[in-house]
Structure 1
């Protein structure tokens, strides 16, 4: 290895991290900006997971993922969106649903706002090089924001969804997935729990009245190329897989990858080899134009 190559790799590993407070649509909105040590090749606005109720910028799914993507040349804007008020009993689908506190569309609008801000903030990434993404509930927010941005005519380079909550009601498991979920002690995201979590996000049990709340089953035509990454042993995998199928049926270029041997939230498990594999896949998607495809015109 030459001295020039060594210096270049060392520079790429240096990541500058800075918090900023934006004048968001619902008050102060904190974002954390991860700037690579070399000229960034792409930008990503990223939303962590946590069932809409939990999580923060410091969890590995937020901070660890952003740092490693930035070391690969991606400028990352991680969003501290407002968390919804937790429900009181997460054990059953009959958990109380309250309409007060933070509910949809607040977090979704904040993630979309952060994307608009990043594109125009002169962070060193061209406006047409920005992608939007998130994990689990953050994947829902990113997917919903991608619909909102499409309808507003805002260009998005790509969407990156890790084990997303794409549907209000969990799609049925395949026999292969059902067997894996049954083998997990305590199961994994039983449908009543998913429905309770999602109703809590909405603040009612009448189901979504906006396509931006749960993009699964909505009109997905004209969306940017999308990478859907799923966990292998994960009840929510059926939602990610169904959403990828819906995207393909709508004429959207889509890449679906199941990370072998992982459970839900594996981006929060830095010691697991599947975490490193997934982040490497994400970096390749964001930095390699040949993988992307293009945003096609909506079918009539």
Structure 2
């Protein structure tokens, strides 16, 4: 890293937040993760069409991007996808959003990737959740035109913090008596205040707890099942795929959630990605990333 761009992961959280507020998210130094480079690396992506959109959300206009490939057979379902970033970073051009959406669209699963406000100061829950909920409602209201499916064939999913936000939106929809997604895809989700120790009181000094308090806005928010859906009821959840990574410290959070779904009689599938760590689908060259996407496609194909 340069003197002007520190390793944000090594900084105390308040310093990292201050740097991000002042400078914005640093550019990814990888030279081969832009869309043109990805199409050259993976020729199967050549026919995926993208369209940038805006979702009017409570935090202000949020970017979204539509992905479709009309040269392949439609899978019968479409996906609203939400990237991660510890609630403080991430964007639609990161591979966890852009490459994942390109790959799924190339396999006949249209995708609307949506963004949300980041928790970099006075912003806390429910602001990011509200934005994801707005993105979901936008997709549902325009599903036939944008994604080629009726609302009943629309899935929701996300990775890491995006997994938290999408599971939380499902809980909010259920508790409001609204229709929930047809299915839920959670990839290395952060569903508990301390994802390494679900069901325990978080250590306030731990990095997980600090990020969770920054997201929730207060220690009291660590008890809110809409903010941390690993704490709440799983009744009424749709068919759910949970992907965890063998080497990920957050693995217990996803495994505990999948087990609770199964115990409650819900349709739950757990996929453990071997020899992979957190954020592996943010690296297109990772062999486990390709396996994870294949597992997502197979899970969707088996149900729609």
Q: TM-score range by the shorter chain?
A: 0.7 to 0.9
Structure 2 residue aligned with 1:255, among 259, 266, 269?
A: 269
Unmatched 5+ stretches in structure 2: 1-42, 199-203
**Could you say which structure has the greater relative contact order, defined with CA pairs below 8 angstroms and 6 or more residues apart?**
1
Aligned residue runs from structure 1 range 149-298, under 5 A? 149-151=173-175, 152-172=177-197, 192-289=206-303
Partner SS, residue 128 of structure 1: helix
Q: CA deviation at 1:251?
A: 2.0
Q: Report whether the alignment pairs 1:143 with 2:167.
A: yes
Match of 2:10 in 1: none
Aligned to 1:27: 60
TM-score with structure 1 length normalisation?
0.79
Deviation string 1:167-202 (CA, Å, 9 cap, x unpaired) is 1133539xxxxxxxxxxxxxxxx9811011101001
Aligned to 1:91: none
State the shift of 1:23 in Å.
1.7
1:215–1:18: structure 2 CA closer, same or farther, 3 Å change rule? Answer: same
CA distance in 2, matches of 1:166, 1:236: 9
1:68-107 matches, within 5 Å, as: 68-85=103-120, 100-107=121-128
SS in 1 for 2:231: coil
Picking from 44, 59, 75, the partner of 2:79 is 44
Q: Residue in 1 aligned with 2:201? A: none
Distance change >3 Å, CA 75–CA 104, structure 1 → 2:
same
Maintained 8 Å contact 1:34/1:67: yes
Q: Offset at 1:148? A: 1.4
* Structure with greater strand share of residues: 1
* CA distance in 2: counterparts of 1:171 and 1:245, whole angstroms: 15
Of residues 32-41 and 158-167 in structure 1, the stretch that sits farther from structure 2 once superposed is: 32-41
User: Shift of the alpha carbon at 1:17?
Assistant: 0.4
Question: With structure 2 as the length reference, what TM-score do the two structures score?
Answer: 0.78
Distance 2:223 2:253 in 1: 19
Across the two proteins, how many residue pairs are aligned to each other?
Answer: 251
- Tell me if the contact between 1:216 and 1:246 (Cα under 8 Å) persists in the aligned partners: no
Provide structure 1 residue ranges, at least 5 long, that are not aligned to the other structure.
1-9, 86-99, 174-189, 291-300
Distance in 2 (CA, whole Å) between partners of 1:23 and 1:111 is: 11
Runs (4+) of structure 1 exceeding 6 A deviation are none
* Aligned equivalent of 2:157: 133
Q: Partners of 2:44 and 2:192 in 1: how far apart?
A: 41
- Per-residue Cα deviation, 1:128-174 (whole angstroms, up to 9, x for no partner): 1101000001100011011112223214110000000011133539x
Cα distance, 1:110 vs structure 2: 1.3
RMSD: 2.0
Mapped to 2, the partners of 1:15 and 1:191 lie a distance apart of 45
Query: Post-superposition shift, 1:209?
Result: 5.0
Cross-structure match for 2:135? 114
